Structure 1
Amino acid sequence: MRTEHPSITTAITADLLRGALDVQRTERGVLPHRLPAWARAQCADGQLAMAESQPSGVRLVLRTRATVVELDAVPTKRVYAGVPPRPDGVYDLLVDGRPAGQGSITGGDVLHIDMTTGTSEVQPGPVGTVRFTGLPDRAKDVEIWLPHDETTELVALRTDAPVEPAPDPGRAVWLHHGSSISHGSNAASPTTTWPALAARLGGVELINLGLGGSALLDPFTARTLRDTPAELISLKIGINLVNADLMRLRAFTPAVHGFLDTIREGHPDTPLLVISPLHCPIHEDTPGPCAPDFSALRSGQLRFRATGDPAERAAGKLTLGVIRDELARIAAQRAADDPNLHHLDGRELYGAADSAELPLPDDLHPDAAAHRRIGERFAELAFGPGGPFADRGRATS
């Protein structure tokens, strides 16, 4: 009879993880990263450090007969001053590719953020445990998808039967880069971010380089994409550049070309899909920077607003409309010599009609229902008949 108290401890190593590009050894365990160490060393931005260490799309993948699986971890919770606490991050369990359970860890470190002053402070916390029981007593593939929005140090893996790395599924690898929406902001769980949903429907293996607030055409990100093996690549470009008010049109155009040139150095013929921004009313015609709406913050709501002046578009300031037009032009220009480069208007994934039906709760990020819609539409447009990824993925129900 199998015990309810698993006694086998397995070291958490890189061969048990998918979706991470680096695994850092820490005093407490291991920390998955979605950017390699050399790339992290080239940027000291705290937002990027937080985003890339949040393991969106990262999962433990095991082959085992275990009926009980326990994972000890230290999540980092984010607490915003004056705003109700965020829900605990969710761990999704899949058995042979099918949902089989969810759990959370309530302990961990706490990152206190004061958006009115721009300051933050980390409060160390204890290790916690997420436990899954009642798994079928047979050889099976077990996946534990880590919370997409909580930095997660992995401390220990315990089971009641031996564990080995799951075999390579032989599916095409889809490498995606984008903003916080691709990262999964406001999604219900790690397997229901729009890229995770689209990957399941397309029958591909996801590496998600959606980096909240950090899709900024950084050269180190382009080199990371260049050096990461993949059969399919997509880039969602635009909104973070407006949010940050990072560059003008004069800099944007050559930066996009340079980003694409770098990726093509490592993937000269890989299908490459450039996606323009989704519909976002506050930034359609108004430049950034984007800032917290402090009037909403005083009432306990986290919302955002655009603080630029629409008249500044004439001086080259970027809006979503400006970026969409320029990305379409760049893609058409490059496609003349690069038949594997494709373009998708982001409003086909989430447009004005979708915004009216499923508005952005904080004026910047979609909710769980909108993530599902975006993922299903991407799967249809990219992996479906006639799509740029149709010959590499497979549409599933």
Structure 2
Amino acid sequence: MNLIIECSSNPCRNSGTCSLLHGSGYTCSCITGYSGGTCNVDACNPTPCYNSGSCNRGTGSGYTCRPNCPVGYSGPRCQHDACNPTPCYNSGSCSRGPGSGFTCICLDGYSGPRCQDDACVPSPCLNSGTCVRSGPGSQYTCNCGVGYSGLNCVIDACVPNPCLHFGTCDRGPGSEYRCDCNIGYYGGICEHDACASNPCVNNGTCIRGPGSGYNCSCGIGFSGEMCQVDACEPSPCLNYGICARGPSSRYTCHCEVGYFGTRCQDDVCSNNTCQEGSTCIRGDTGSSCACQIGYVGHDCEVYTCASDPCYNSGACVPVVDGYACECVTGFSGNQCIIDGTLKSTIIFRLLGNYNILTVSILWDICANVSCSNNGACVRQIISFYQCICKAGYSGIQCGGKY
């Protein structure tokens, strides 16, 4: 009895059908496009379709906006507008068509599906003519400047230029023109030249003046009314300096290496300090000394054999940049220190290079001896040695100072 009462109040909305359930309760069977416990949800209210699209209810809570979108709109909810943003260029007007279609209505002088083609770009008018879009599609006309004419302003009254000597052609109406001559030229087409017989010498430049007048513009180092005076003839530079002409009558001397001064009159070797017969050598930044064999130092003041560097009666012989020792029989080495009765290494110093000759006998005690402070090991007899110490050092192996 209660079940009947529950459906008698017609709880199902929007034409839904009420059905009793076993036991207690009811259920609503909704028509197409409605849903919810009492069919209270309408898939088309509010409408989900944009741009005045018509909503069509479907199964359950479904709906469709197509194919009922207005002309020019598309998409599941009619959200796409074929004319927004406009696909038309150059201020063309967009007109919507069926589905997502559109048509562009172009202004004069523009064409193409989207009005993208401009009859005046690039401009067909030459010689600064102005292109004017004159009708539908690609129609145009050219407004030509003074002195130009023709379909695209191709005819020029001043081409080729009738004026000689770089005269300027001034265009007039139609094919007329007038020549404006440069200074120093004259005549109807500027055919006369005031500098034709160039009176300027030494590559001077003739400067044309009004009428038949002229002046000479002289090159660097030349002067005078006709550029006849040469600043480097005769040359003012001494000691083989090279004269370089300067503006007007001025000049510059480029001196040989080792000379300086405005006329190369000063010599870096004039105060020569080189000793012992050495030669002064001129350079870019000063001078140096080329020493005789056996002398070194800035001024060749040091004799390489002066300190008697050869031991054991060896004879010091001057060589280039140093000395060599000529050892007596039984001794060798660059200072005649090595005793030749044992294994010896003979070193000859020649012109700054070393040639080595090794003679093997039995045993070299100095091979395993290290004399301190640059001392020199000298063999005495087999198994014995002596360290010859540098000045200021003493001891068996030169380890002590005194």
Q: TM-score range by the shorter chain?
A: under 0.3
Higher relative contact order (CA 8 A, sep 6+): 1
More helix by proportion, 1 or 2?
1
More strand by proportion, 1 or 2?
2
TM-score by length of 1: 0.16
